[in-house]
Structure 1
Amino acid sequence: MRNDVKLLELSPIDAHFLRYRPSDAAQNHRINNSTKWLLMMDPRNRESRRGLH
């Protein structure tokens, strides 16, 4: 769950870096989005996330 929170915190930073380092930021953004999607699609994570917040 710690990784999930870290990904959410990195979102604004990714948007910031997209302007200055397009290749690195775009790659990180794709990785973060796919990871968040996988976490979101996992029912176990959805349940535990609801319990945490």
Structure 2
Amino acid sequence: MTVIAHISDLHVSSTAFDEAVFMKAVNEINNLQPDMIILTGDITDNGYY
């Protein structure tokens, strides 16, 4: 079975960004051992970090 993880709108540079929550999500996704990770939406705010 193929496992695809889809994540969206990380907003890494946002003032509301919480690194602990981000790392929890990273660990959860890694635990899925996905064959592919699809990242859509905004990665950062305002086009930069």
For normalisation by structure 1, the TM-score amounts to 0.37
Larger radius of gyration: 1
Question: Which is strand-richer, 1 or 2?
Answer: 2
For normalisation by structure 2, the TM-score amounts to 0.39
Ranked by relative contact order (alpha carbons within 8 Å, sequence separation 6 or more), the top structure is: 2
Question: Which is helix-richer, 1 or 2?
Answer: 1
